[in-house]
A and B are shown apart, each in its own frame.
Chain A
Amino acid sequence: MTHSEAAITSGPGSAPPAGGALRSPAALDLGYRMGRRWGERLIAALLFGCGLISVLTTVGIVVVLVTESAGFFREVPIAEFLTGTRWSPMYSEQHFGILPLLNGTLLIAAGSMLVALPVGLTSAIYLSEYAAPRTRAVIKPILEVLAGIPTVVYGYFALTFVTPLIRMAFPGTGIFNAASGAIVVGIMIIPMVASLSEDALNAVPLSLREAAYGLGATKFEVSTRVVVPSALSGIVASFILAISRAVGETMAVTLAAGATPKMTLNFLESIQTMTAYIVQVSLGETPHGTLEYRTIFAVGLVLFLITLVMNLVSQRITRRFREEYE
């Protein structure tokens, strides 16, 4: 027993021991072993192929967006695209300035953060610092359900519940307005902020809290002046991921925020986000291969780059600024 244990300390990372050790040399079936070896290699190659699909997906996204956008930028100068303040590809007087769509997207992102950040962070603090284990066991699944509701359902909720409320509070507001979309996107993102921030708060060692209590701090002071600052990198990373989610959110803003690209900071106006524009074009009758059609790839490229940069920054923050305790 001790002998065999010594022989099998090899983990999955190293080569498995040869299979025929127990047989007499004459009985070794070399053909069988060769077959087994080729079979093993084939399987390893197949599994590697599965892993490669994810790389191919990324390559596919980049190639599709860049090549189709290249066709678009041959006709519309990049400078005009990035700095123009009018977006009207479908009108007879065409303008291809993406700023109104960016404006709409940022308005939704900012508005949703006004909802999701405070609610998400205080929820996380409650779950991590205050809640008893049994309370947590009830609250966590509720947040998971909230996170699992399809975005189109939130769109319905925005249009049939949130919008009427807003129109009651601010008479004269149109059916489509940025506020309704922003609020609902914010609600959608609360669970994500809460759960990621809570992970960060949980990672703060107890000894820090105990030291603060030892100095006579109250629970409120321990939570806000010791635990939250110690977990700040994780919290910021969760905020950035949340913004990236809000930027990429599609259905709720398509249904609730309208289809009028414009430069505005007024939440009560109808706007259009980049994602909603892409949906609008693909629902329409725009023929494939036209300049109007190619706009969705150019807008998609901008959307992809923005979310990619945010995700990378968020990962970087978690890795670089993670406070290492003990």
Chain B
Amino acid sequence: MSEERFHPARERRRRAGIIFRVACLASIGFSIAVLAILIVDVARDGWSWLSVDFLTRYPSRIPERAGIKSAILGSLWMMALTAGISFPLGVGAAIYLEEYAPRGWLTRLLQTNIANLAGVPSIVYGILGLAIFVRFLGFGRSVLAGAATLALLALPVVIIASQEALRAVPNSLREASYGVGATRWQTIRHQVLPVALPGILTGTILSLSRSIGETAPLIMIGALTFIAFAPTSPMDPFTVLPIQIFNWTAKPQAEFHDLAAAAIIVLLVVLLLMNAAAILLRNKYQKRF
């Protein structure tokens, strides 16, 4: 190329680079700004409504007397039952897939199926829960029906997270265990699971924290929005924090919007605590091999 036909156009290209860099930074800034605005918006609306009374009173048609006691208790019930169902099933499935399953079409089918289930909209799980748990199995519109539905929703994520944790356990541990005569289950029970447990728990807590914020599937199975009592058994009707928030947000009066904001603060704090617990667990017990 001759000297006079070569145009490096350095200045123009440098400027294009700067513009692009600023655009990229602006995108990141957009997300951060939205998060900040969302938190400020919620805090400004809801902060003055937060009080001990708000946490310990039942919902009311009068905004000044309304509280979220039944929603908090319902969410706690839901959390405990969902964890109780999805944790053993999810870890069991992960152990099967990682430690037992032979390479073949069946295992591939299971794996593809789990990946696809993770992409099914949550409201479709609600339709499933309505047809199977509420009607077919006769659980009614109960805590148990809701928890079973959320457990199925959480299951793919629990399985995938547990599989990753199991995969991180080095094979030398298993081989040493087999070498001293342990059976496969003894090896898993005494060597593999203890090492993988922090990772499994971290993944489970994270997927549970997502279920705790779920609204649509519980609306489907008919979680009531006006519950002035605490559920005392898994067969009782219930409400949960996200449904209470939905209910108040959907009302036209501004006072109820502020109540929703106050309930959102409570929900976000719960989620924050769960995520912090998961991160602490990961940092404290994570072993590197």
Contact = CB atoms under 8 A, between A and B. Distances in A.
Contact of A283 (B16, B89, B185, B219): B219
A68 B131 contact: yes
Given A60-B132, A296-B127, A300-B127, A119 B116 contact: no
Interface string B178-216: 110111110100000000000000000000011011111
Contact of B116 (A53, A159, A275, A312): A312
B121 A53 contact: no
Given A11-B174, A47-B92, A244-B119, A53 B246 contact: no
A251 B215 contact: yes
Contacts of B117: 54, 57-58
Nearest to B135: A288
B132 A10 contact: no
Given A47-B96, A58-B116, A220-B20, A255 B250 contact: yes
Contacts of A282: 126, 130, 219-220, 222
B124 A48 contact: no
A263 interface: no
Contact of A151 (B16, B88, B96, B215): B215
Interface of A: 4, 7-13, 16-22, 36, 39-40, 43-44, 46-51, 53-55, 57-58, 60-61, 64-65, 68, 118-120, 122-123, 125-127, 130, 139, 142-143, 145-146, 148-153, 155-157, 159-161, 187, 190-191, 194, 216, 218-221, 223-224, 241, 244, 247-251, 254-255, 275, 278-279, 282-283, 288, 296-297, 300, 303-304, 307-308, 310-312, 315
Given A54-B156, A64-B127, A307-B119, A224 B28 contact: no
Contact of B24 (A20, A126, A160, A244): A126
Nearest to B192: A12
Interface string B213-238: 11110011010000000000000000
Given A150-B242, A278-B220, A51 B101 contact: yes
Q: Specify the main secondary structure of chain A where it touches its partner.
A: helix
Given A12-B187, A126-B21, A279-B123, 19 more contacts: A12-B98, A18-B181, A40-B184, A57-B117, A60-B128, A61-B127, A64-B128, A119-B27, A149-B268, A191-B31, A220-B17, A249-B121, A250-B216, A251-B242, A282-B126, A296-B127, A300-B124, A311-B116, A312-B116
